[in-house]
Amino acid sequence: MTDAGTVPDRTTPRRRRRLPWFTEVLVALVGVALVQAFLVKPFGVPSQSMEETLHIGDRILVNRLDHGVERGDVVVFGHGSTWQERELPPAGNPLTRVARAVGDVTGIGPSSTSYTVKRVIGLPGERVACCSTDGRVTVGDQPLDEPYVYEDLPFTSGSLDCSSSPRSTRCFPEITVPQDNYLVLGDHRSQSADSVIGCRGATEGGECARFVPRERVIGPVVLRFWPPGDLGGIAR
């Protein structure tokens, strides 16, 4: 009770009621899942196939809002044990199955999909081959300028090229990219299991190639955020 004419002291702020801790965790996970599903998604680089552009252990961000893929884009795409499969085989361990289910929803930890990062070289309907007389990849008979290539396979015009015997392993026959698919290569050409890994050194036939379906592309890599000293965009 207060004396008549006395104004109650309201300077002490009212303590807000907090949500239960597990509800706060759930809300945070839902927020992370929505961001990764519709805006940006982080990935780790697991191999040396994109050196020197990306290194093992780098952390990158993929823009999920950008659905327009262009030649030269570095993209992340999903697949199963092989590029032809959509998901990994079911796990035998129940805990692994649960962990994958959580990862599929939240984007945190293991999931039912493997992810690979490569550079887009051939767009749907284009003809890609290697090599020109100076050892470059061609698209529609036009040599590409690829300053990002690191440690390419050996090629010496006149002695070890696409006409010599033995034939340079840099060479591969003309490949027509199917509609709604992309042909991708790694920047570290001599260490990349990419679209033409089964075609190198062959003289004819494009059935040796494997492609990335358009719907499997998560998006282009827009930023490297780890390690901090390498923070920045990705060279094209």
Provide the mean pLDDT of the chain: 86
Predicted local distance difference test score (pLDDT) of residue 17:
61
Predicted local distance difference test score (pLDDT) of residue 65:
84
Domain boundaries, the chain: 44-120+216-230
H or E segment and range at residue 106: helix 94-106
Measured N-to-C along each axis, helices 94-106 and 21-38 cross at an angle, to the nearest 10 degrees, of 70
Predicted local distance difference test score (pLDDT) of residue 2:
47
pTM of the model: 0.82
| Cα–Cα distance for residue pair 231/179, rounded to 1 Å | 35
Predicted local distance difference test score (pLDDT) of residue 38:
46
Predicted local distance difference test score (pLDDT) of residue 3:
53
The percent of residues in the chain predicted with pLDDT above 70, rounded, is 80
Predicted local distance difference test score (pLDDT) of residue 112:
87
Which of 133, 142, 130 lies closest to 170 in space, CA to CA?
130
Report, as ranges of residue numbers, the positions in the chain whose pLDDT lies below 50.
Answer: 1-2, 24, 38
